[in-house]
Amino acid sequence: MPLDIQATLDKFAKLRIVVIGDIMLDHYIMGDATRISPEAPVPVVSVARDTYVPGGAANVANNFAGLGVPTDLIGSYCDDPESVLLNDVLTHRGIQLSPIGQKDGATTIVKTRVVVQRQQLCRIDREAKPAAYGLDHILQDPQFLDLISNADAILFSDYAKGVVNDTLLSAVRTHLATLPEQPLLIVDPKPKRHLDLHGMTLMTPNRAEALQMAGFDSSSDADFDDEAVSSAIFKKYNPEKLVITLGAEGMLLGEKGKIIGRIATVAREVFDVSGAGDTVIAVLTAALAAGEPLKEAAALANRAAGIVVSHLGTAPISAEELLNA
């Protein structure tokens, strides 16, 4: 039976999602370059406009907001001008950035991209070292415990900046074990960090990450054996559900230790894949929390990804776009 998208979107509005991860501010400097600098062999960019949008875990929350899902966002940042700008951007989108994540030394992460005639010229990153972003100071905070206790799903958005670590994961699991009903636990993993990710409802690695998690060669030209890769991940991490995003090859779905199939990509025109993974995990999480089966949730996420890759820059999905696709 085909998924009733409107009915599913109606369920989204009744959810409560908590996103925990590496929040960022994406800054786009848009302009043109018609001459070379006399100071060095580099183009001179004449700036037309500056655009600021949520990035990293904040973009995941932005996708939830676009779908009409009530969302709380927890991440590390400090009292700097960039955090004020990020908070303004999030508030405008109806996203609550929890104040408990503020801490000294946690420089608000900003990624600045210089874009000339729709081509990225360079990227400038502003961030502290990973140790600055840990959330150890909030793990026993009543406000934090209340947020995760009342969530339908908790999504760990790991960009390897330091927020998602074993201390955080252990504290969340320990607290949730005391509850009569536990929220879904979702993670977008970064295998190079070697975190203890057992007990997850859903894991969503991409092709290279899945190969790394399985202990195989993860180079771009490496073979990808669906059965071997998924079996290795299920054996090592034991997630309830597994969705491996394979770019132009679609998605590989697994559940309860077994492959349940592949779905083909629906992208017609790929302009910019920035943020597509954030869209996929947000839609998957919302659909699963709303009670949809994995195949239907993945089909909806695949449709959403096909929409956002046709946009320039980091762009969230919206309920209207899903309905009109």
List, for residues 109-124, the tens digit of each pLDDT value: 999 999 998 889 999 9
Q: Helix-strand-coil percent breakdown of the chain, rounded to 5?
A: 35, 25, 35
- Contacts (Cβ under 8 Å, ≥6 apart) of 235: none
pLDDT (0 to 100) of residue 319: 82
Burial class (CB in 10 A: 0-12, 13-18, 19+), 284: buried
Q: Is 117 left (phi over 0), alpha (psi -120 to 50) or beta?
A: left
Which of the four pLDDT bands, split at 50, 70 and 90, describes residue 64?
Answer: very high
Enumerate the domain spans of the chain.
5-24+57-107+130-317
What pLDDT shows up at residue 202? 97
Task: State the CB neighbour count (10 A cutoff) for residue 119.
Answer: 8
Residue 13 above 50 pLDDT?
A: yes
User: In this predicted model, what pLDDT tens digit does every residue of 216-262 receive, in sequence order?
Assistant: 999 888 899 999 999 999 999 999 999 999 888 889 999 999 999 99
Mean pLDDT, the chain, rounded, equals: 91
List, for residues 120-173, the tens digit of each pLDDT value: 999 999 999 999 999 999 999 999 999 999 999 999 999 999 999 999 999 999
At residue 214, the pLDDT reads 95
pLDDT of residue 273: 57
Whole-angstrom distance, CA of residue 269 vs CA of residue 249: 14
Check pLDDT > 60 for residue 271.
no
Longest pairwise C-alpha distance within the chain: 68
User: Are the beta carbons of 230 and 254 closer than 8 angstroms?
Assistant: yes
pLDDT recorded at residue 94: 87
- Report the 3 state secondary structure along 57-73: HHHHHHHHHHCCCCEEE
Question: pLDDT category, 313, cuts 50, 70, 90?
Answer: low
Say yes or no to pLDDT of 1 above 50: no
Q: Return the closest-CA partner of residue 189 out of 167, 225, 172, 164.
A: 164
Give the homologous superfamily in CATH for domain 5-24+57-107+130-317. Ribokinase (3.40.1190.20)
Residue tagged 């996203």 (tokens): 95
- Report the amino acid identity of residue 256: K
Q: 3-state DSSP call for residue 109?
A: strand
In this prediction, residue 316 carries a pLDDT of: 77
For the cut 70, the answer to whether the pLDDT of residue 272 exceeds it is: no
Cα(15)–Cα(319) distance, integer angstroms:
15
Q: What percent of the chain has pLDDT over 70?
A: 94
pLDDT of 192 higher than 50: yes
pLDDT at 310 over 70: no
Q: Which residues contact 23 (CB under 8 A, 6 or more apart)?
A: 54, 55, 56, 57, 58, 73, 75, 76, 77, 86, 97, 101, 108, 109, 163
Q: Which two tokens stand for residue 137?
A: 């100071």
- How many angstroms separate the CA atoms of 206 and 190, rounded? 10
Q: Is 278 a catalytic residue?
A: yes
- Contact (CB, 8 A) for 19 and 163: no
Query: pLDDT at residue 296 above 90?
Result: yes
The catalytic position among 22, 72, 158, 278 is 278
155 neighbors 20 (Cβ within 8 angstroms)? yes
